[in-house]
Amino acid sequence: MKLTHYTIILLQVVVFTCASPALAKSPQKAAIQIILDNAYHKFKKQNPGENADYIPALAKVDPTYFGLALVTTDGKIYSAGDVSQPFSIQSISKVFTLSLAMEQNGPQVIVDKIGVNATGLAFNSVTAIEQNKARSVNPLVNAGAIAAVSLLDGKNEKAKWSGLSAWYNKFANRKLNVLEDVYQSETDTNGHNRAIAELLTSYDRFYGDVDTNLAVYTRQCSVAVTAKDLAVMASVFANNGIHPLTKKRLMSSDNVSRVLAVMTTAGLYENSGQWAYQVGLPAKSGVGGGIIAVSPGQFSVAVFSPRLDSAGNSIRAQQAIDFIAEQLNANIF
């Protein structure tokens, strides 16, 4: 039998509907591939914003890249556009480092030693540290993220990186590499992050050597991922800590809930409230142009598009995820 376009769509609907009871009630929710394709075509032509340029290597990335991927909790992968194009994970790494810091230290240590409140300020804000008496920030802004690295097991830079990169690889279900040009570019220009780490040290809110932990943080931000990798990585959060592809538990479901809570309050920095109001999904952005969002129990979605708004969040990725979440009726609120 020759399958027509519509037969294929119908089959997709039936297969997905059977496999995913949470999305089973409404057939249009099941046509995920069509929704991704529609998002791709709807936003492909408009590409506002600017690449990040405070890390020189990011300014050179082709701004026309646009890739979308979605992974369901039963392990199906959907994609559209430039989903195999590597780019630097940047701040999206912070949620995976936070996850490891939680698994190694327990969730209360994150509350006590870093903090979990939104700052309402830019991701690299020094004012946020100065304004808050406890010097508490949260693990998704630079200060808390570099401090989270300082909480990780590992007696030196090599040991820390080895544990952290192995952890990322488990989420991606493959070995990820580092974009050495991005690492070098960021290392050459990260005086601001160094100042943040020194400031935290002066307030006893940093838990190791500045050089070592800054180097590991900068390396984690330079990890090369594709939109598909990011959707696969985030699918562990969607599936309550069990990897949908390997079926292995990577983290406790309690810790997943906490990661999702911080993503909701701080994942898009000072725009997190507006994002929660508009889209209603825990999400995390990176200045490399990626954004992940999680629909707990259902799916993860990742979009890559390098041009950013003034808060450092990819504009087209926000638009595409907003569209996809709306089509899938995924707002958790």
Least distance in angstroms from the C-beta of 10 to ligand DON: 40
Judge contact between 246 and 191, C-beta under 8 A: no
Contacts of 309 (CB under 8 A, 6+ apart): 49, 271, 315, 318
Residue 80's nearest CA partner among 286, 317, 285 is 317
Contacting range for ligand DON; rule: CB under 6 A; set: 98-106, 109-117, 125-133, 285-293: 285-293
Tokens of 210: 């500045």
CB 38 within 8 A of CB 28: no
Quick check: 287 binds ligand DON (CB under 6 A)? yes
Least distance (Å) between residue 167 CB and ligand DON: 18
Q: Tell me if 203 is assigned to a ligand binding site.
A: no
Q: Tell me whether residue 144 or residue 312 sits nearer to ligand DON (CB atom).
A: 312
164 within 8 A of 146, measured Cβ to Cβ: no
Among 164, 312, 325, 330, binds ligand DON (CB under 6 A): 312
Please give the size of the binding site for ligand DON, defined by CB under 6 A. 13
List the x/- string, 100-129, binding to ligand DON by CB under 6 A. -----------------------xx-----
Helices 253-266 and 93-105 sit at what angle, rounded to 10 degrees? Answer: 140
318 binds ligand DON (CB under 6 A): no
Q: Out of 20, 51, 193, 305, which residue is the one contacting ligand DON (CB under 6 A)? A: 193
Q: Which H helix or E strand runs over 238?
A: helix 227-238
Question: Which residues bind to ligand DON, rule: CB under 6 A?
Answer: 90-91, 123-124, 142, 186, 193, 221, 285-287, 312-313
